[in-house]
Amino acid sequence: MAAVLAGCGLTSGSDHVTLHLVAADYGDSAANSSEKYWDAIVTAYEKQHPDVTVEVTVYSWNDVDAKVKERVAAGDPPDLAQIGAYADYVAADQLYKAGELLSIPVQADFVSQLADAGKVRGVQYGMPFASSTRLLFYNKTLFAKAGLTPPTTWEELAADAAALKQNGVKYPYALPLGPEEAQAETLQWLLSGNGGYNQNVSSYSIDSTENVDTFGWLKNELVGKGLTGPVAPGELNRADAFAAFTDGEVGMLNGHPSLMKAAAKKGVKFGMVPMPGLDGPAKISMGVADWMMAFRKNGHARQAGDFLNFVYSKENVLAFSREYDLLPVTNSASQVMSTAEEDADLRPFLKELALSETYPVGRTSWAQVSAEIKKEIGRAVTPNGSPATVLGDLQETASRAENEAGE
């Protein structure tokens, strides 16, 4: 009986359980490493739960997904993993459902769009841990010199970019379609053109008329007119575009909350507005989330769930969001942030989160599709590139990946 109970995580005799968590590092220095955040969480939790030890290993975002994958392949998954994607592990039947772990109030507290993004076939496995949206950042100094106001439509954005170019701005609009994060910039533009990756809920729609029209506009009205700077969009990575913005060389670009601190540190005066759309501000913004998941192999559902209920308390979610300039994944923390004076800078992003759409992360095929978008989408806006051809090729890749995954 003791052996059977031990396999369920409810050990007989000694009730002590050790939970292993692998987590990503959101810090940019030793001073704000995620290790410090988790140390504080674990210390507070273990004080109340002497029968549980939580061991946390933190890796950089460059390594964390691969480290978890290695452990799973070796038959030694952690109890909990806080990483970038969960769908592969659902497909392999390795994860607990969120409902098997969390209390009903905690599960119900997730922001609805993010909870939905954590579902596969209507069942939630991925628990959102951090979220973010994008706004159009603009350099106030450069705009003032050119006598401009921030754009609300694509037409105004192109006109502002032309005026900035006339004034000698190096990157009137920075369009990072390089391999680092092209899938993000792409989705932001597709949504603003009333398209997206999944206009049909049941399948990909990458080569839709709306999407082809969006990239046709980008190619002809921005890139073709020399309004995106000296580096070809397909070779410009997001980190380089952000660095150019903080150096005062960019008029406009899409940015997430962390850009605020980086720009302010360099003395760049900036404003932020919703992404322009065809005939006014875009109705839907791009949202992104990172995920918490729990592996079933060690059988620690009760202890893992109890720890997660603690992690997702309003106070802990707020502390994490404020430390790393990210958006809360729960409604209770979002409500606090929507009125607290100290969170005023994040409020515009929080407003966009309510109108956001995330990547199709619940699809096992998404990892392959995303990788192909990063590799190929820049060709759509080259002088000899064809948006219809490139998006058509990506759609073929997506359909093939979808079929292979049995989705």
Going 77 to 80 to 83 to 86, the CA torsion angle's sign is: positive
The string of pLDDT tens digits covering residues 293-327 is: 999 999 999 999 999 999 999 999 999 999 999 99
pLDDT the model gives residue 7 = 33
Residue 10 has pLDDT above 80, yes or no: no
Total-model pTM:
0.88
Confidence of residue 14 (pLDDT cuts 50, 70, 90): low
The string of pLDDT tens digits covering residues 195-212 is: 999 877 678 999 999 999
Residue 62 has pLDDT above 90, yes or no: no
**Rounded CA gap, 358 and 133, in Å?**
9
Percent of the chain at pLDDT > 90 equals 88
Confidence of residue 242 (pLDDT cuts 50, 70, 90): very high
**Rounded CA gap, 291 and 343, in Å?**
23
In order of their start, the domains of the chain are 11-132+288-357 (3.40.190.10), 135-274+363-405 (3.40.190.10)
Confidence of residue 391 (pLDDT cuts 50, 70, 90): very high
Q: Tokens for 41? A: 């969480």
pLDDT the model gives residue 31 = 84
The pairing of strands 17-24 and 80-83 is parallel
**What residues have CB less than 8 Å from 82, skipping those under 6 apart?**
21, 22, 23, 24, 129, 290, 291, 292, 293
Confidence of residue 354 (pLDDT cuts 50, 70, 90): confident
Q: Give which of 33, 20, 17 is closest to 67, Cα–Cα.
A: 20
**82-86, 142-146, 165-169: which has the minimum mean pLDDT?**
82-86
The string of pLDDT tens digits covering residues 99-151 is: 999 999 999 999 999 999 999 999 999 999 999 999 999 999 999 999 999 99
